[in-house]
Amino acid sequence: MHKLGIIGYGGMANWHHQSIKANFKDLEVVAAYDIDPERLELARKNGLKAYETADDFLASHEFDIVLVATPNNFHCDYVCRALEAGYNVVCEKPVAMSVEELDKMDATAKRTGHLFSVHQNRRWDQDYRIMKEAYDTGMIGKPFTIESRVHGQGGMVHGWREFKVAGGGMVFDWGVHLIDQLLDMVDSKVVSVYANLHSVRTPEVDDYFKLVFRYENGITAQVEVGTFNLVQLPRWYACGDGGAIVINDWDCSGKIIHTRDTVMNWEPVVVQTKAGPTRTMAPRPADTLEELPLPKVETSWTSYYRNIIDTIDGKAELIVTIPSVRRVLRLIEACFESDEKGEGVKTDI
Ligand SMILES: NC(=O)c1ccc[n+]([C@@H]2O[C@H](COP(=O)([O-])OP(=O)(O)OC[C@H]3O[C@@H](n4cnc5c(N)ncnc54)[C@H](O)[C@@H]3O)[C@@H](O)[C@H]2O)c1
């Protein structure tokens, strides 16, 4: 039986608590520490032992795993303190505000010998797993472009996410997930990055960004996150030399269109459109195409904690490793550099 204590019992931590309660027999959330007395009161109401200081929480040893789920600027300090105090540590994403911070955390984990991982739960999202299945099994042939998007409409960034000092903004908030998925899926180095960040309605941090990067294998990846996109585009869109895939939203409607053959075995004709005649952009004859349903995948965010427990028990290899999240953070730093310079940057990520 493993026991977990939480630092920062806010919205996401409460989700961790309820999800663990509903899904695990060998993991129990038992304690919490928060700077906000109201959150401590809620922790008590939810059956947890609530600690009023971090020192008392860390000295208690009533649990073997610590989850750090505070705003991003406190991750590094709490992760290092929890590792030093003898705990295995899971940290919410983004793991750190910089590669420098992460290297400090990683060195502490290596020196103390405890498990250290990051809650990149969206590696188990259904839309991502469908995209990955299509990619891995060559359903669209050899991909040359992949677009990943999340569009909101509210035009609002909430609470601490509005502030730079807290690690706010959409690159850190959603970008970290979408970049993590793309690096997890495509096994190739990232050789260049172009990013443009905007503060459309949130003065201090980015509430919209577009990132384009190039893998060494030639694939172009695009990530777009916006909080004020009143017309929304699909969650995923990718093209390969044998077809294309679209996944519309988190409900995972969509389709794959692929060619029955790749040879030019029909007579191209000129079509008349409202924008003039074209042969190059004329539609392909329907009988050369086939529409396939999206592949079925079974996935659950609970796989994350299953892997943490099994790794601690020596029954599995850690899935969300520190080198994998370090690549994501390096790419995020390249985004900020590209935005600041107003040009693309060469990378070796
Ligand atoms: N993986 C995901 O899908 C996901 C989703 C949402 C949030 N998150 C991450 O979880 C973390 C928390 O986000 P949230 O949405 O729960 O925020 P939140 O504001 O709801 O919760 C943060 C909690 O931390 C507490 N806190 C603030 N400063 C503290 C300090 N110095 N010491 C102790 N407690 C402190 C606050 O009182 C609050 O209860 C962030 O890193 C965020 O990026 C991850």
pLDDT in tens, 119-168: 999 999 999 999 999 999 999 999 999 999 999 999 888 899 999 999 99
pLDDT in tens, 212-223: 999 999 999 999
Instruction: Give the pLDDT band of residue 107 (cuts 50, 70, 90).
Output: very high
Q: Are residues 69 and 130 in the same domain?
A: no
3-state per-residue secondary structure call for 34-69: CCCHHHHHHHHHCCCEEECCHHHHHHHCCCCEEEEC
Average pLDDT over residues 261-285: 86
Residue 40's pLDDT is what?
Answer: 98
- What residue owns the CA closest to ligand 1's atom 5? 12
Instruction: Give the pLDDT band of residue 264 (cuts 50, 70, 90).
Output: low
For residue 11, the domain's CATH number is 3.40.50.720
Q: Are residues 132 and 273 in the same domain?
A: yes
- What residue owns the CA closest to ligand 1's atom 27? 70
Domain residues for 153? 123-300+330-346
Domain boundary among 86, 119, 152: 119
Q: Is the C-beta atom of 35 inside 6 A of ligand 1?
A: yes
Report pTM: 0.97
CA-based nearest residue to 27, from 78, 61, 63: 63
Q: Assess whether pLDDT exceeds 60 at residue 262.
A: no
Q: Is the C-beta atom of 119 inside 6 A of ligand 1?
A: yes
Residue 263's pLDDT is what?
Answer: 59
| CA neighbours closer than 13 Å in the CB half-sphere of residue 250 | 6
Q: Are residues 133 and 100 in the same domain?
A: no
Q: Are residues 131 and 148 in the same domain?
A: yes
Cα of 74 to ligand 1 centre, how many Å? 9
- What residue owns the CA closest to ligand 1's atom 6? 12
Cα of 25 to ligand 1 centre, how many Å? 25
Residue 259's pLDDT is what?
Answer: 87
Instruction: Provide the number of structural domains found in the chain.
Output: 2
Residue 284's pLDDT is what?
Answer: 87
Residue 325 lies in a domain: no
Pocket test for ligand 1, best of 6, 12, 80 (most atoms within 8 A of CB): 12
Residue 307 lies in a domain: no
CA-based nearest residue to 252, from 105, 163, 134: 134
Residue 298's pLDDT is what?
Answer: 95
Residue 313 lies in a domain: no
- What residue owns the CA closest to ligand 1's atom 18? 10
- What residue owns the CA closest to ligand 1's atom 9? 92
Average pLDDT over residues 182-207: 97
Residue 280 lies in a domain: yes
Contacts of 308 by beta carbon, 8 Å cutoff, 6+ apart: 65, 88, 90, 115, 117, 318
Residue 170's pLDDT is what?
Answer: 98
Q: Is the C-beta atom of 125 inside 6 A of ligand 1?
A: no
Give DSSP secondary structure letters for 252-269. Answer: --EEEEEES--S--S---
Average pLDDT over residues 310-328: 98
Instruction: Give the pLDDT band of residue 198 (cuts 50, 70, 90).
Output: very high
Q: Assess whether pLDDT exceeds 90 at residue 326.
A: yes
The alpha-carbon radius of gyration of the chain (Å, integer) is 23
pLDDT in tens, 25-67: 999 999 999 999 999 999 999 999 999 999 999 999 999 999 9
Cα of 141 to ligand 1 centre, how many Å? 41
Q: Is the C-beta atom of 175 inside 6 A of ligand 1?
A: no
Residue 41 lies in a domain: yes
Residue 175's pLDDT is what?
Answer: 98
Pocket test for ligand 1, best of 40, 58, 76, 92 (most atoms within 8 A of CB): 92
Residue 317 lies in a domain: no
